[in-house]
Amino acid sequence: MSITKKVFGTDKKTKKAVYEYSIKNKNGMCAKILNYGGIIRELWVPGRDRKTVDVVLGHDDLMPYYENPGYLGAAIGPNANRIGGAKFTIDGTEYQIPANENGNNLHSDNESGYHVRVFDVEEGVNSIRLFLQDEDGDMGFPGNKKFEVVYIVTDENELRLDYHFVSDKNTVLNPTNHSYFNLRGQDGGSIEDHVLWLNASCYTPVAAGSIPTGEILPVKGTPMDFTEPKEIGLEIGADFAQLKLGGGYDHNWVIDGADGQLKLAAKVTAPGTSRTMKVYTTLPGIQFYAGNFIGEQEGKLGAAYHNRCGLALETQYFPDSINKENFPDAVFGPERQYVSSTVYQFCNN
Ligand code: GLA
């Protein structure tokens, strides 16, 4: 195990130094993480031949991360995904948050969301702890909040993210990480041939604007069914209303048997590689986004990114759960601290 640290740049807004931490295990797996946006900038995982491949999309320097419209690799907070109408009511008070997408809120805030913030850092042996604070009312969210996420690399080829959040007022807390994976490598082209399995017999369909309708529907007999491993591209273009709305897969799946303990939620393989990624989480939902709107952008080492060249598996409370009584409760405060863990594990099959 080793951790090294290097200067990555200076944040143009706060003038704070941005560092990149490399956490490496005995097998050569290495996660490179920025204290800017909590970004997983590189993730090198060993293949059967022990050669490592970088399986996450990202950029070579800080500049493209200042806006990062696709949220490549970033920590999202305090609330991930969408809140309908960009408002919610807690304890009788209505809160208005930024309406930054079609009158709704997406990923908290473009200017102050956690994906564009500089975190404080504490180094461990095989981990780093990134932490920051928000004041009551920041981005419209109630509560003085303390947020931390610990990134841990283990000798079992896992990258583990442990989240902890406290707030002195009831508020909505739903952080995630927005890495895009391509198991052939960050410049590996389309992920439509990747094979996905989800431990989910239901999903939460959306209406226009990708706001959940509130229903929890079975996937059986629909293109949303990944209960048996299936090529992502097989039905992504199907004439199915939900896929038209999301431009492909961009939905929350309801993890079967979620009970707050780490559960296997997803498994991905890529043909022609021996690589498998498993995602474990304590959370009740997982957003599978097929990268439908990545757009053309230059990635690391001159890679030409395009739609669907990476896939995101964002563990979370269900989108808009603050406005849906039947969804698991994402309100946390003095009486309920937020704790969650997500593990990305890599193995060779
Ligand atoms: C989430 C959303 C997608 C998209 C991406 C970022 O995954 O569900 O619709 O906005 O973030 O591009």
Residue nearest to atom 5 of ligand 1 (CA): 70
Separation between Cα atoms, residue 337 and residue 147, nearest integer Å: 11
Ligand 1 pocket residue status of 318, Cβ below 6 Å: no
Residue nearest to atom 2 of ligand 1 (CA): 81
Q: Is 89 helix (H, G, I), strand (E, B) or coil?
A: strand
* Residue 84: predicted pLDDT: 98
Tell me which H or E stretch contains 242.
helix 241-246
* Residue 294: predicted pLDDT: 98
Ligand 1, pocket-test mutation among 68, 79, 81, most atoms within 8 A of CB: 81
Q: Using the structure block, give the residue that is written with the tokens 């896939």.
A: 311
* Residue 47: predicted pLDDT: 86
pLDDT tens for 10-41 read 999 999 999 999 999 999 999 999 999 999 99
* Residue 48: predicted pLDDT: 83
Supply the pTM of this predicted model.
0.98
Ligand 1 center to 70 CA (angstroms): 7
The Cα angle at residue 37 between residues 121 and 100, in degrees rounded to 5? 145
Tell me, yes or no, if 178 is annotated catalytic. yes
Tell me, yes or no, if 314 is annotated catalytic. yes
Q: Is 299 helix (H, G, I), strand (E, B) or coil?
A: coil
* Residue 69: predicted pLDDT: 95
DSSP string of 135-192?
Answer: -TTGGG--S-EEEEEEEEEETTTEEEEEEEEEESS-EE-B-EEE-EE-TT-TT----T
pLDDT tens for 192-224 read 999 999 999 999 999 999 999 999 999 999 999
Encoding tokens for residue 131? 């932490």
Encoding tokens for residue 296? 């053309």
* Residue 16: predicted pLDDT: 98
Give the chain's residues under pLDDT 50. none
